[in-house]
Structure 1
Amino acid sequence: MEKQRGLRRMKVVATGLLVFVAVVYALATWAEARGAGPWAGYVAAAAEAGMVGALADWFAVTALFRHPLGLPIPHTAIIPTKKDQLGESLGDFVGENFLSEQVVREKIAAVDLGRRVGAWLAQPDNADRVTAELANALRGGMAVLRDSDVQAILGEVITRRAEATEVSPALGRLLGRTVEEGGHHRLVDLFCAKAHDWLVEHRDAVMTAVEGGAPGWTPRFVDRRVGDRVYRELLRFVTEMRDSPGHPARGAVDRFLADLAVQLREDPATRERVERAKSELLNRPEVQDVIASAWGAVRSMVLAAAEDERSALRLRARTSVLSLGARLEADPRLRGKLDTWITNAAVHVVTGYRREITSLISDTVSSWDARHTSRKIELHIGRDLQFIRLNGTIIGALAGLVIHTVTRALGG
């Protein structure tokens, strides 16, 4: 509405000036006919030329937007009749002069985007804002994902990866390194301690087992004595093994584990058995349920960390953002890499999708109604075009005055 009022005001001024010079022409002509003197001729000539200039420029300005006086004069109403061609020309102009590779590269180089980004990210408030936006994006991404789909994909990926990777050599290397470093000794100590405690607490169970395995023809008291002897020997063996780090049984365990590590790495039969056991374990429903449920745990953990401003995840993200900003400010090579990446990405978009970008202009203009387009453009530039009418009136009047003066000076 403000532009419309401004356009209407300028039209009134330009038309008022035309009416003014017309009135001046009429009065000057009347005065000249009444013998007012030579000055009346000069004024009449200036006013007449001013009217001609005003009418010519009115015609030119009006012809851009509509037919003057409603008459279908050729090459008038240019914008309504040529809007599609104008839209295409505008799109081509923008594409050639604003979306060229050279212009994009020069503009990005002049902006020094890497330094500006670094300085912006190095500010704590901006780092907090970036971290918050990243957390919102993470929560949004988690909300979009369907748990059933992610669980199915996760289970399939883990299972396929595990089946494709032979674990026996890795287990052999791990076991061999553990035995060499003595890392299994604590496990053996724990086993011996638990075995000793179990024997102490379950003496009757051991005695019953021994007596139950004795022949039926042996006397009961013999079975008890044998069972008691076996129990005491077993308890003594376990106690000595527990208390003596150099016990021969411990050395046998070491040799057994070392041999097992070699077999896991080099024996084809052992490796094949391990792979079969691995496949059977992976295909068990319980294992698949554990793999699928891992996504739920991860999802809950990530969402909780994203929502908590003091969580380790968000604090690490904030620290990383601040560190990135400081590095961009201090490291010219890193800034150069960022600028190069952004420039190449922008050039790729511009050169690869220039036609699609410029077609946005031409298609938008093409979709507009002709009269609506004319009114829209006139509202934006019509007020300035009215100055053409004003200048035409003034320049025409001055030109008429000069022509009349020269004509009289030459004796015309």
Structure 2
Amino acid sequence: MNRTPALDLPPPGLVRMRLVATVLLVLMAATFLVSRQLVAAHPGWGFVRAFAEAAMVGGLADWFAVTALFRRPLGLPIPHTAIVPNNKDRIGDQLAQFLRDNFLIPRVVARRMRRVDVAGAVARWLTDPPEGAGGQFRQGASKLAAQVLEALDPARLGGMVKAAVAARLTETQVAPIAGRLLRAAMAEGRHKPVLDAAIRWAADAISSNDTTIRQMVHDRAGAILRWTGLDETVSNKLIGGLEGLLAEMADDPDHPLRVRAEETLDRIAWALQHDPAMQERVEAVKAELLANPAVAEWLGGLWEQARGALLGIARDPERAMRGRLGEVLRQLGETLRAERLATTVNRFARRAAVSIAADYGDAIVRLVSETVRSWDVRTITGRLENAVGRDLQYIRVNGTLVGGLVGLLIHLVDVLL
């Protein structure tokens, strides 16, 4: 019945203290017997006998009290002994109720969580962890993660991931998101480098295709233009004009063509967010892309890369923590030091804890109570005795010594009076 033999074995500390207390009691008994025979030889032995006698009584009394908690002393059916075995179910119920009344009431959890700085603790651990902090946990967790990733069927899991990503993309309206991103990029001026790059690309394209442009003008020019050589002049003017225009656009941020390009981008951003026709066209393009086998293969490649990266991190977490992942986590820790964000994180942690207490408090209480009830008598007795038995053996030692001192004091008073 839910027994774990290893947990029933007494720890070495308990065995050692039990032996010390028992040896001390036996020593007091032997001292009493010896001193009782020597009292007639010298009055001083009376003090030894009084100490040993009272120590023996105190040690026996405390041995009886400690033993009565877990079993019947000497196996005798003495009333009010074997307290723990006889009240196992009541102990489980009261332990569960103690947890419920002191830890799992939402207002108690909220009050205690107000004093807990979750964000600060996480920030300190991420930015400046103590030497070896989390090492065993990280190694154990990473080993488990690696085993789970290796045990899962890569093909089946990859198919599930691809299907989930594709379904998510299908459900998501891309156009409004793209419009908001474009509008935000323009508001922050992040579109300007893109325009600069497009202008440079156009200039490079004209320069590298100079011969092709001249040949196109020559082929489309009339016979008279070719005979007079004016086609070459037209080509020079055309190429020079385009290069000059692109150079002006590159040098002048307020060039009219650049302004018109920005206005066009602004209209595109608006249309992506508000024009149903534009949104339908974007959705059609998205659906066509998702139906393309090359996109499915690309998604599969992304999953394999992500799986390989996760396995690398799981197999060597320390190396990962020294790399970009560690830098990202340290930056996250620095970010968590911000007062506003820390307040938000702590508020979220507090609400989550309160919600767990409110939703699952009764279930936790029943789990504790039913678990204790399911243990057999020997199991719960062994576990409780292993937990507190060493301190109880100290009570036996203290009872023996204190009893001896009290007996010595009484004998001294008796001699003086």
What TM-score, normalized by structure 1, do the two folds share? 0.55
Q: State the match for 1:82 in structure 2.
A: 87
Instruction: Indicate whether 1:295 and 2:305 are aligned.
Output: no
Matches within 5 A, 1:343-362: 343-350=350-357, 352-357=359-364, 362=369
1-side partners of 2:146 and 2:50: how far apart? 80
Q: State the match for 1:370 in structure 2.
A: 377
Q: State the match for 1:390 in structure 2.
A: 400
Change (3 A) 1:297 1:62: closer
Q: Would you say the 8 A contact 1:114–1:335 is kept in 2? A: yes
Change (3 A) 1:287 1:334: closer
Larger Rg: 1
2-side partners of 1:391 and 1:317: how far apart? 61
- Give % identity: 26
Residue of structure 2 aligned with 1:72, choices 77, 93, 97: 77
Deviation at 1:352, TM superposition (A): 4.5
Deviation at 1:390, TM superposition (A): 0.7
1-side partners of 2:91 and 2:130: how far apart? 49
Per-residue deviation, residues 352-395 of structure 1 (Å, max 9, x unmatched):
54455566655554444323443444443342232254146426
What TM-score, normalized by structure 2, do the two folds share? 0.54
Q: Would you say the 8 A contact 1:54–1:390 is kept in 2? A: yes
Q: Would you say the 8 A contact 1:64–1:78 is kept in 2? A: yes
2-side partners of 1:108 and 1:22: how far apart? 60
Deviation at 1:7, TM superposition (A): 1.2
Q: Would you say the 8 A contact 1:53–1:396 is kept in 2? A: no
What letter matches 2:16 in structure 1?
R
Give structure 2 stretches of 5+ with no counterpart: 1-11, 180-194, 242-256, 269-274, 317-321
Q: CA RMSD in A?
A: 6.3
Give structure 1 stretches of 5+ with no counterpart: 169-180, 207-227, 247-253, 266-270
Q: State the match for 1:21 in structure 2.
A: 32
Change (3 A) 1:3 1:241: same
Give the secondary structure class of the aligned counterpart of 1:75. Answer: coil
Residue of structure 2 aligned with 1:323, choices 301, 326, 331: 331
Q: State the match for 1:101 in structure 2.
A: 109
Matches within 5 A, 1:253-292: 287-292=291-296
Change (3 A) 1:51 1:333: same
Per-residue deviation, residues 160-203 of structure 1 (Å, max 9, x unmatched):
446987999xxxxxxxxxxxx9x899699899997985797xx8
Residue of structure 2 aligned with 1:9, choices 2, 9, 20: 20
Deviation at 1:77, TM superposition (A): 1.0
2-side partners of 1:274 and 1:48: how far apart? 102
Give the secondary structure class of the aligned counterpart of 2:292. Answer: helix
Per-residue deviation, residues 89-109 of structure 1 (Å, max 9, x unmatched):
344445545664267336525
What letter matches 1:149 in structure 2?
M
Q: State the match for 1:151 in structure 2.
A: 162
Q: Would you say the 8 A contact 2:72–2:78 is kept in 1? A: yes
Give the secondary structure class of the aligned counterpart of 1:108. Answer: coil
Aligned residue pairs, count = 348
Per-residue deviation, residues 319-344 of structure 1 (Å, max 9, x unmatched):
44333444555x44444444444444
